[in-house]
Amino acid sequence: MIKAVADTNVYISALNFRGVAEEVLAPARKGEVMLFISAPILKEIEGVLTDKFAWSEKDAQRAIAGIKKFTDIVYPKEKLNAVKNDAADNRIIECAQAAQTHFIISGDRHLKALKTFQGIRIISPAEFLRLIKG
């Protein structure tokens, strides 16, 4: 089974705009892809929803509860500094490394510039969809 970590931007886009980002999450909801997440990523999602998109705290917490239903939480032990320009991006890599995933799904330019990290491919949401649809 494909194992992946979706970047915060994928969840934010899916929750606010649906589209391709929602299509990326759909296979995890169906149990076709294992999607991993960590507490720092969940915290960032909640913060972005409330701070940048003016979601109420209650609605943001409801969204987090929904995400937890189709993701597996991991607890990374190693702190990384692979992305110098954006510390939050390192939380994504740490999660992927801890879960030993195949992919990081992200639209973030800092992450995409890496292309891979210790054998983990960093691909766009559209690339991920092409890959899983064969």
CA torsion, ordered 24, 30, 31, 35, to nearest 10 deg = 30
One pLDDT digit (tens) per residue for the chain, 134 residues: 999 999 999 999 999 999 999 999 999 999 999 999 999 999 999 999 999 999 999 999 999 999 999 999 999 998 888 887 788 899 999 999 999 999 999 999 989 999 999 999 999 999 999 999 87
**pLDDT at residue 78, as a whole number:** 82
Domain interval for residue 78: 2-133
Structure tokens at 83: 């992305």
CATH code for position 29: 3.40.50.1010
The overall longest dimension of the chain from CA atoms, in Å, is: 39
Q: Structurally, how many domains does the chain consist of? A: 1
What is the pLDDT at residue 93?
96
Instruction: Output the pLDDT for position 88.
Output: 86
